[in-house]
Amino acid sequence: MKRVVNYLAIIGLGLTIGACRDKDEENEEETVKPQVEITMDPMYDQQFLSSENVIFTTEEGYRVKLREMKVILTDLRNGNHLLSPAAIYDSKKGRTLLKVNGTSSDFGSLSFNIGVDSVLNHSDPAAFPNDHALNIVNASDMHWSWNPGYIFFKVELIADTLDDGIDNFNHPVTYHVGMDETFRSTQFTGLNWNNAGNSVEQLRLKVDLKRLLQNGNSTVDIKTEFMTHSAPAQLPLSIKLAENFKAALTSY
């Protein structure tokens, strides 16, 4: 009889523990925090540049591949609602620019900087918290040194500029744009946030390289204007690219 009682007690204890676990799991599900995610797509006109193997053709007839695109955005906000102090997009790491706790109801509009303001640009990059995008470990090759500061955006291409019917991608194009003179701010309104599931709302941004190379009368010829590291002699090209990049970066 005693064995039966002990057996029933064990079963009862097991059921109690199981019920507690079920309640804990329910509580965990109930406390899932909503998140917002911003993605970024490099494109040429309507063509997605989803890998380094995708070829696009410029207005001049050059055949081009995107090797890499990186972008630093700072002070992403809607009025008093701060979404993130800084975020870095890296085309080699996927489409996500940032993913943080929050809801889209606070971000019907979004303003941000392309690059880093002059104060932060010349501060110690190791002084930022370890989880900050501008910390030198996270910024990595998007920072030159304390003097010139951060690279605001980086676009690296490889092109075939000869119209001879032969694939010969041997013309590198390197745009590393920084310095205080190329710092730009912009704002998007009427944003289209989408439900991505799992309590995540998503905003999609795109960078149209066609507009980077040709924005109205501001044209960049990658055959002759193929490099800038924002040195003083290269600053005119960097400024032109900064203006074009601002126009090229839009929301869907």
pLDDT tens, residue by residue, 66-90: 999 999 999 999 999 999 999 999 9
CA distance 209 to 58: 9
Residue 8 has a pLDDT of: 41
Confidence of residue 164 (pLDDT cuts 50, 70, 90): confident
Confidence of residue 9 (pLDDT cuts 50, 70, 90): very low
Q: Which of 13-17, 44-48, 135-139, 174-178 has the lowest mean pLDDT?
A: 13-17
Compare 165 and 7 and report the one with higher pLDDT: 165
Query: Are 102 and 35 contacting, i.e. CB atoms less than 8 angstroms apart?
Result: yes
Helix (H) or strand (E) holding 138: helix 136-139
- pTM for the structure as a whole: 0.86
Residue 24 has a pLDDT of: 52
Residue 241 makes CB contacts below 8 A (sequence gap 6+) with: 155, 175, 177, 182, 212, 220, 228
Which amino acid, one-letter code, is at 94?
Answer: G
pLDDT tens, residue by residue, 52-62: 999 999 999 99
